[in-house]
Amino acid sequence: MTKKIIATGVAHKVPTDLQKALTSNQDVLAKWNNLTALARNEWICWTISVKKPETRRDHIERVCSELKEGKRRPCCWPGCPHR
């Protein structure tokens, strides 16, 4: 079994639940690793900034589906305040 490399963001590391989702699909992982560090940071912060676990699961699913569609950043979100 080969270890899958996953790139991190600028201010955030990839949380375990998001990492699991990203590494479960080679296409999604390749698109993730092709993003800039700032773009990855936006996705990570957008995912971890919610309060409810079910909303976080929804965000993780959206990260994967929107990366497949070619989106590079979360839509309609003011951005990460941590950078």
* pLDDT tens-digit readout, 49-81: 999 999 999 999 999 999 999 999 998 778 777
Query: Is-contact 80 45, C-beta < 8 A?
Result: yes
Q: How far apart are CA 5 and CA 21, in angstroms?
A: 13
Retrieve residue 69's tokens: 């569609």
pTM of the model: 0.87
Residues 17-40 have a mean pLDDT of: 95
pLDDT at 3: 61
Q: How far apart are CA 47 and CA 53, in angstroms?
A: 10
